[in-house]
Structure formats: C-alpha cells, structure tokens
Amino acid sequence: MENKIEVKAEDKMPDKIEYKTEIRRIEMVTHDVKRFILEKPKRFKFVPGQHIKIKLEGFEKPKSFTISSTNEEPFIELIIKIYSERNGFTKRLGEMKPGQEITIEEPQGKLVYKDKGLFIAAGTGITPFLAMFRQLKKDGKMSGNKLIYSNKTFDDIILDEELKDLFRSNYTRVLTQEEAEVEDEYFHYGRIDEEFLKDRINGYEWFYVCGPKEFTLAIRQILAKHGIKHEQVVA
C-alpha cells in the first residue's frame, strides 16, 4: 500500500517576502551599464554579495541582480548591464524612469566574504564583489585582498576609478579585445587562462569567482588543476 504524507498548511515553506520600492535615481556607469538607486524598505537587511529578484509586469519570471551598496547605506544600489538590442528584461528596466515602482524579493545567495583572498571577475561579475569591497574598506580590512578583473575593452570596465582607489597596486585589469597602452602588472591583454593564473594564485586560501557561467567554470577547473580545493572557491 502506498503511504501518503499529508502536508499541513503550517508545514509548508513560507512565501518569500516581497517589497514594493521606488526607483529614486538612474545613472549611466558605462556605455551599456546603468546604476539604479532604489528606496530601501524598512528592516531590509542583507549580506554583502547577496542578490535580490526583481519582478516586472509582462515577464513571467523575476530576474536576479546583485546589491552593490552596503547595509549602512539608506538606499539599495543595483548596477545592471542593459541589453537594449534584445526585447527582454533589462531593456525594460533600462526604459524605466525615477519615480516608478518595482517589486523586489528578500535578499538571497551564498556568495559571501569568508576571509582575505584573490577575487577574479569578468564584466558585471564585479557587482557582487562591490558590496564586499565597500564593506571591507569601511571596516579597515581591505589589506591582503587582490582583484583580477576582465573586460572586453577599457570602456567596459565598471567603476574603474573606485576599484583603483580600493586596491591600489593589488588590482590587475585584463582586456580581451583591446590592447593596453602599457603592458605591466596592472594591465594584461588576453584572457584569464592557466598560463596567466598559475603564478598569481600562490599564497591565497580563498578564491572568489564571478562572471558568465563558462568563465566561472573555466576558472574553477584551472584552480582545481593547481590544487585548490572546491571548498576554497566562493562562486
């Protein structure tokens, strides 16, 4: 006889908390990336590195975007790449104006800071790290961290001046489709491959990786090949 388990209403998983919030300000960050400043709901808390889901009318599924501000800020900052050539979610976001309302879900995600380490990011993969970096600076704990950040061209780099201020000499920019004027320890033309990483991963216990899925997988494989354990990689 088949045993059936009756699920009582009180045993069901609670629905995610949703907030109605207003877009306060929108700014261009690069030629195709915008900064959205949202009203911060009361009692809204998160861990730097976490993301929220945004719901928009006309789209069946919400989309996830990382919070780049810190908890201390009186607003929520999202930095989002707008794909205006596609008739999709970010195009709709890119058409919105200050004063309009959107629905967001409670923060979630496990990409959080453990301890000092090597950060490896590509494109908008830098966004979950921004909240971490800003919090570390506030707490006086930036020392010992290093950033390698890959983009197609110099104009694609998100918040380059802020990252230079945060990391100083521990910041390497990698350009895949544009040669740097000066090739040195701060600039590299090419890709973040095994040859590039093998001499740059020594001395770190933690590795933080974020970017397109293919990028993240490739970096994980390189790190594993050089003896980095799966649990040492936060991605």
CATH of the domain at 65: 2.40.30.10
- If asked whether residues 122 and 22 sit together in one domain, one would say no
pLDDT value of position 3? 37
Are 48 and 99 members of one domain? Answer: yes
Residue 80 has a pLDDT of 98
DSSP string, 107-176: PB-S----SSEEEEEEGGGGHHHHHHHHHHHHHT--TT-EEEEEESSGGG-SSHHHHHHHHGGGEEEEES
| pLDDT per 10-residue tile (average), the chain, 235 residues | 39 70 98 98 94 95 96 97 94 97 94 97 97 97 97 96 95 89 73 93 96 97 96 96
Domain that holds residue 93: 18-105
Question: What local confidence, expressed as pLDDT, does residue 186 receive?
Answer: 80
Do residues 72 and 149 share a domain? no
158/96 same-domain check: no
35 and 98 assigned to the same domain: yes
Give the total number of structural domains in the chain.
2
140 and 180 share one domain: yes
Q: Say yes or no: 54 and 140 in one domain.
A: no
pLDDT of amino acid 178 = 85
Shared domain check, 87 and 183: no
123 and 98 share one domain: no
Q: Which of 73, 105, 137 is the last residue of a domain?
A: 105
Q: How far apart are CA 37 and CA 23, in angstroms?
A: 6
pLDDT at 11: 43
Q: Which of 99, 74, 95, 76 is nearest to 84 (CA)?
A: 95
Residue 126 belongs to a domain: yes
Indicate whether 3 belongs to any domain: no
Single out the residue in 77, 105, 133 at which a domain terminates: 105
- Same domain (yes/no): 131, 222: yes
The 10s digit of each residue's pLDDT in 109-154 is 989 999 999 999 999 999 999 999 999 999 999 999 999 999 999 9
pLDDT given for residue 69 in this prediction: 97
pLDDT value for 229: 97
